[in-house]
Amino acid sequence: MKYSFKRLWNLMFLFVGPGWSLLVWMIWSSGQLHSPGEKILFLSVVIPGFLLIYFSGFFIEGWHKRKQSARS
């Protein structure tokens, strides 16, 4: 690989992030979320979900590095 995993992961999220935001905006403005409770529930799933996916990449990288170092 020419670049580090961290650089490629961040670059991927640089391109995926706007698409994710567009999808969230489309759902938010579609009128499907009627009550404030539904809106809070939606945001409490979407925001932590995005962050969980982002930080899981660094967990996977660390796990892979430990696995590689154990083999050598």
pLDDT at res. 2: 76
Tens digits of residue pLDDT in 2-53 = 778 888 888 888 999 999 999 999 999 999 999 999 999 999 999 999 999 9
pLDDT at res. 1: 61
Q: DSSP string spanning 3-71?
A: S-HHHHHHHHHHHHHHHHHHHHHHHHHTT---SHHHHHHHHHHHHHHHHHHHHHHHHHHHHHHHHHHHH
pLDDT at res. 52: 93
- pTM as predicted: 0.73
* 72/70: higher pLDDT: 70
